[in-house]
Chains A and B, each alone.
Chain A
Amino acid sequence: MKGISREDVRHLAWLAKIELSAQEEETLSKQMADILNYFKILDKIDTKSIEPAYHVREVKNVFRPDEPRKANPDEILKLAPAKKGRYVKAPKIV
């Protein structure tokens, strides 16, 4: 695995929707490279025949009954920093 370039950092920041300062980009590309380099330790183990442990407990088939329950919409809407009437206000889309 190659190092993490400034370009890589910018692309990841775009995916993660985080604006970074030039200083942060610089520090991140260094620190991320170190950390990813450490992660390479896993290459030492053969896991070809091993299944991933996506869920640590083998729980299956958990459901909820299809019964409506009225919640507390006003308490939730109150939390939005910008509103227009009962709409949550967001900037333009395109």
Chain B
Amino acid sequence: MKDDLGLKIGLEVHCQLTVLKTKLFCSCPSNYRGEDPNTNICEVCTGMPGTLPVLNEKAVEAAVKIALALDCKISESMNFFRKNYFYPDLPKNFQITQYDKAGGSPIAKEGLVETIAGIIRIRRIQLEEDPGKLSYEGTIVSSPISLVDYNRAGVALVEIVTEPDLKSPKHAREFLQKLRSILEHIGVCDGSLEGAMRCDANVSLFGGKRVEVKNISSFKEVERALNFEITRQKTMANVAKAEGMETRHWDDVRRVTVTLRVKEAEEDYRYFPEPDLVPITISKEYVADIRKRMPELPDGRKARFVKQYVISEEIAGVLVGEKLLADIFEESLRTRMASNLLGSWLAIDILGYLNRSEKTLADMKFKPKDLAELARKVEKKELTENTAKSVVIKAIEQGKSTFEFAKEGAAITDEKSIMDAVKEVFEANPKAVEDAKSDPKAINFLMGQLMKATKGRADHELARKTIEQAITAGS
């Protein structure tokens, strides 16, 4: 996207602290996935009258880790505020969150994340509770009712708010990918879980009003939603319809944004200090202790990969883009050194295949050391690289934990078998055999028939040679 559009994109990323065993303010399990609706609930997270929140002690530690990883200034004291607004997924019709005005102090402020396309400033990060989940019969627009499941309500979120530093939808995606890898490396948020990382995007064009797009549930969706929204706003500008402040909903089924509410004025959330929770002090010693225990982060790991395994910056960058990928890489190398081959397989071929086929690394069932063994065989020229890669892809595709060079699927390389197959093809296609004597193109047809008959297993070079020889012999 060009600068002359005056494009401004800022993100509010919501990351569930999946490392926690319980929700932010009650003792319900934080893992609600796969549960029947409204089974993972208690009187606190459903806002039953008279209940009170009590802060999960591990939440502060997890949030401080994120703050450190994003180079933020950590507050010496933080507190919670109520954000008052009505919505069916919000059990108390206010959200307990943090605030940076009126005496409010979120856990951290002013950080930054480096991406290839530039530095993204972090405005603040804050702890807050997740709302419940709404579902619809059909789409949000067509559904006559909405169905509320509070299983997710009260799960601990860290909201990461960026400055409007993102340059394009693609940049937004790159940033989110990096953020996810950072969070996975510090082990607080498993971004591979559905809905564990979600974001709202603020978009404005041509200096127009800010439009907020909600309900973006993955990196692919962020790019799609932003592209849609930018095109929509451009079209609106062309027909000279002024953009008002608006909140829109990303409908990921139809892949469009729809109006959720037009803001009459600046939202009036009536923030005030949460009276049922007390301030939390975050001492320098506490932070220093966590800093000491911080694991290696993606940037550091990338630099180490380049140095330790002598692989390119690009490959190393892709590998650390996903913690599991980088782990697989290092795990593989533990037994066999073939770093360049493994690096490019993982970063290019396997990742490319996973993206194309909407699969994830979790779909890889084989062991990293087996992958390394394969790479070693290629290096020793016991196997062609193409064969190795196709075997790997097939294993992922079929969800197998072992690589299969099955008899059935093995290449036909012996001359006798090829000759037998050629004979059969010639007998079935006498006209083509005749044509081939004068027209080399007909040889291609016969090759095609042969490959079909052998289900593609005939060794390509040997087959062509055998056909050519047979034609020559017969003419």
Asked if A and B form a direct contact in the complex, defined as CB atoms under 8 angstroms apart, the reply is yes
Residues of A within 8 A of B (CB): 15, 17, 52, 54-55, 59-73, 76-77, 84-94
Asked whether, in the complex, the Cβ of B22 is within 8 Å of the Cβ of A87, the reply is: no
Asked whether, in the complex, the Cβ of B278 is within 8 Å of the Cβ of A59, the reply is: yes
Asked whether, in the complex, the Cβ of A87 is within 8 Å of the Cβ of B88, the reply is: no
Residues of B within 8 A of A (CB): 20-22, 25, 27-29, 36-43, 46, 48, 54-60, 86, 88, 93, 103, 134-136, 140-141, 143-150, 249, 258-260, 268, 270, 273, 275, 277-281
Given A86-B36, A90-B148, A66 and B56 contact (CB-CB distance below 8 Å): yes
A70 to B40, CA, bound (A): 8
The interface residues of chain A lying within 8 Å CB-to-CB of B59 are 66
In angstroms, how far is the closest chain A Cβ from the Cβ of B186?
Answer: 17
Asked whether, in the complex, the Cβ of B145 is within 8 Å of the Cβ of A89, the reply is: yes
In angstroms, how far is the closest chain A Cβ from the Cβ of B37?
Answer: 4
Q: Which residue of A lies closest to B156 (CB)?
A: A66
The interface residues of chain B lying within 8 Å CB-to-CB of A71 are 27-28, 41-43
Q: Which residue of B lies closest to A54 (CB)?
A: B273
A8 to B136, CA, bound (A): 35
The interface residues of chain A lying within 8 Å CB-to-CB of B37 are 85-87
Given A67-B21, A76-B46, A88 and B281 contact (CB-CB distance below 8 Å): no
Asked whether, in the complex, the Cβ of B38 is within 8 Å of the Cβ of A88, the reply is: yes
In angstroms, how far is the closest chain A Cβ from the Cβ of B78?
Answer: 11
Which listed residue (A66, A77, A91) contacts B145, Cβ 8 A? A91
In angstroms, how far is the closest chain A Cβ from the Cβ of B146?
Answer: 5
Q: Which residue of A lies closest to B279 (CB)?
A: A60
A34 to B273, CA, bound (A): 27
Asked whether, in the complex, the Cβ of B280 is within 8 Å of the Cβ of A68, the reply is: no
The interface residues of chain A lying within 8 Å CB-to-CB of B21 are 66-68
Asked whether, in the complex, the Cβ of B54 is within 8 Å of the Cβ of A64, the reply is: yes
Asked whether, in the complex, the Cβ of B39 is within 8 Å of the Cβ of A93, the reply is: no
Interface secondary structure of A, over-half rule = loop
Asked whether, in the complex, the Cβ of A15 is within 8 Å of the Cβ of B275, the reply is: no
The interface residues of chain B lying within 8 Å CB-to-CB of A84 are 145, 147
Given A54-B275, A76-B43, A90 and B145 contact (CB-CB distance below 8 Å): yes
Which listed residue (A54, A73, A89) contacts B147, Cβ 8 A? A89
Asked whether, in the complex, the Cβ of A68 is within 8 Å of the Cβ of B41, the reply is: no
A61 to B150, CA, bound (A): 28
Can you pick out 14 interface pairs between chain A and chain B where the beta carbons lie within 8 Å of each other?
A: A17-B86, A54-B273, A54-B275, A62-B55, A62-B277, A62-B278, A63-B57, A71-B42, A73-B42, A84-B145, A85-B37, A86-B37, A86-B149, A88-B148
Which listed residue (A54, A67, A86, A88) contacts B27, Cβ 8 A? A67
In angstroms, how far is the closest chain A Cβ from the Cβ of B275?
Answer: 7
Q: Which residue of A lies closest to B40 (CB)?
A: A73
Which listed residue (B48, B56, B270, B280) contacts A61, Cβ 8 A? B280
Which listed residue (B58, B149, B270) contacts A87, Cβ 8 A? B149
Asked whether, in the complex, the Cβ of B41 is within 8 Å of the Cβ of A76, the reply is: yes
In angstroms, how far is the closest chain B Cβ from the Cβ of A70?
Answer: 8
Asked whether, in the complex, the Cβ of A94 is within 8 Å of the Cβ of B40, the reply is: no
A44 to B46, CA, bound (A): 43
Asked whether, in the complex, the Cβ of B46 is within 8 Å of the Cβ of A87, the reply is: no
Q: Which residue of B lies closest to A52 (CB)?
A: B103
The interface residues of chain B lying within 8 Å CB-to-CB of A62 are 54-55, 277-278
A76 to B135, CA, bound (A): 20
